[in-house]
Amino acid sequence: MFAEMNTICSRPKPFEFYTAEELWTNEHTAQKMLEYHLNEHIDLSSRNHDFINRSSQWITDYCDLGPGKSVIDFGCGPGLYTYLFAKSGADVTGVDFSQNSLAYAENRANENDLNISYFHSNYLDFDTNKKFDLITMIMCDFCVLSPEQRSIMLKKFNKLLKDDGKLILDFYSHNAFEKREEAQSYERNWMDYFWTAEENFVFLNTFKYESDNVTLDKYTVVTESDSFTIYNWLQYFAVDSLRELFDEHGLTVSELYSDVAGTEFAADSDEMALVAGKK
């Protein structure tokens, strides 16, 4: 028992283990995530629907979306943004590795006769010869990626973006990092059986890596017959480091906001959003 508890409480190196795909492709957790996506009152899998409506309208207006414009949303989930982008008349593509979420998105698009192409793929592996006027990755999805994965995505953005296209992403800031604290807890059947339909105990260890501006929520799920661990990494960014990172990959940050709804940038914001283009 001591050895098992020691493993549960052990601190890995930053991004040493990566389980994001398991979270979204497991049939049980994928269904739970979809339920949270579609709950219009909470900010969990997706932001609340009021924010999404304001955000999508701001992006649509800012990028002058409409017929003749092409958009791709990486990590599109159930298509909450792609649906609204497509209502402008734009040609929209969504990429996600949750089959449950994509099935919902595709049904909604078909019911409303919207021009949206969905691809079931890990966006790290996705490729196309098409070029886009707008690329989005929203809900701070970029922050869950390791340094190597971030480089893959930035190279992909550069390749897929039109010369005059725009890239819009959001991030957690150092201010949000300062508010995080290390903690340990356990709970029976966490969040109404989120991780498994079986009776379970969930051990949550939150680790903070001061020199890397990284946090980890490490979930160890124990049932009568099995146990598994999910690693939820988050990287927190400073404006200067983001500019340097994008510059290294042939992209230039042109504007900063406090969120993807176009809120004026504030240095003390927990989140920030940027607009970038090709050099």
Q: Which of 32-41, 110-119, 144-153, 245-254 has the lowest mean pLDDT?
A: 32-41
Looking at residue 15, its pLDDT comes to 97
The CATH number of whichever domain residue 57 belongs to comes to: 3.40.50.150
Render pLDDT for 117-149 as a digit per residue (tens, 0 to 9): 999 999 999 999 999 999 999 999 999 999 999
| Average per-residue pLDDT for the chain | 93
DSSP 3-state of 215: strand
Distances (CA, A) of 177 to 13, 60, 235: 18, 30, 9
Distances (CA, A) of 223 to 10, 18, 97: 20, 21, 26
Give the pTM.
0.93
Give how many domains the chain has, as a whole number.
1
Answer whether residue 78 is part of any domain.
yes
* CB-CB neighbours of 103 under 10 Å: 14
Q: Which of 9-18, 19-28, 244-253 has the lowest mean pLDDT?
A: 19-28
- Higher per-residue confidence, 25 vs 15: 15
> How does residue 100 score in pLDDT terms, banded at 50, 70 and 90?
confident
**The domain containing residue 105 runs over which residues?**
28-39+46-172+238-278
pLDDT (average), residues 171-186:
97
Answer whether residue 255 is part of any domain.
yes
Is residue 45 pLDDT above 50, yes or no?
no
Partners of 171 in beta bridges: 272
Answer whether residue 65 is part of any domain.
yes
Radius of gyration over every alpha carbon of the chain, rounded to an integer in angstroms: 19
Is residue 41 pLDDT above 60, yes or no?
no
Is residue 200 pLDDT above 70, yes or no?
yes
Angle between helices 99-111 and 27-37 (to 10 degrees): 50
Distances (CA, A) of 20 to 52, 92, 97, 124: 23, 25, 10, 12
pLDDT (average), residues 92-121:
94
Answer whether residue 134 is part of any domain.
yes
- Higher per-residue confidence, 224 vs 46: 224
Answer whether residue 207 is part of any domain.
no
Answer whether residue 183 is part of any domain.
no
Alpha-carbon dihedral 156, 157, 162, 164, rounded to 10 degrees: -150
Answer whether residue 52 is part of any domain.
yes
Q: Which of 22-31, 61-70, 163-172, 229-238 has the lowest mean pLDDT?
A: 22-31
User: What percent of the chain is predicted at pLDDT more than 70?
Assistant: 95
Answer whether residue 7 is part of any domain.
no
pLDDT (average), residues 259-273:
97
pLDDT (average), residues 70-84:
96
Looking at residue 35, its pLDDT comes to 74
**Distance between CA atoms of 110 and 175, rounded to whole angstroms?**
42
Distances (CA, A) of 9 to 186, 215, 222, 227, 229: 11, 15, 14, 14, 11
Is residue 25 pLDDT above 80, yes or no?
no
pLDDT (average), residues 10-31:
85
